Amino acid sequence: MKNGDSPVVSAAPAADRIVELNHNSSEYIDTIEKFDEAIEEIDGTNEYDDPEEKEQVVAIMRAGRALFNKSDISVESVQALVLAGLNYLARNFSDHYIVLVIKAAIAAISGLLGLTIL
């Protein structure tokens, strides 16, 4: 799992803020579709030498995905649980397609929460 691309990092002023989620908005729906696709690609990859590590990563991503089912979400929680994990995976997967899917999820999540991608 190695990718030479530079990391995708998100930063936010007031990362401790809460964002209301409109589950009917096109931006929310697009974000969830991209996040779900990333989780499925990570779950379906054979790049992991350690199946337990893969299972743990997928479980963390699914726990992060569950945060988006609420009516509001903590930006700090998403940064710590979701974006940190996705950024790590984007830097370390060698499968170019999975990296693109992960980066699309990062961009969508960041946009939904008003974060700036560096």
Does any domain span residue 1? no
Residue 72 lies in a domain: yes
| 65 domain residue, yes or no | yes
Residue 111 lies inside a defined structural domain of this protein:
yes
pLDDT > 50? residue 20? yes
Q: How many domains does the chain have?
A: 1
CA neighbours within 13 Å on the CB side: how many for 116?
A: 5
Domain that holds residue 32: 10-117
> Per-residue pLDDT tens for 58-117?
999 999 999 999 999 999 999 999 999 999 999 989 899 999 999 999 999 999 999 887
For residue 87, the model assigns a pLDDT of 94
Helix/strand/coil for 19? strand
Let me know if residue 16 belongs to a domain: yes
The whole-model pTM stands at 0.86
User: Considering the domain boundaries, does residue 3 fall inside one?
Assistant: no
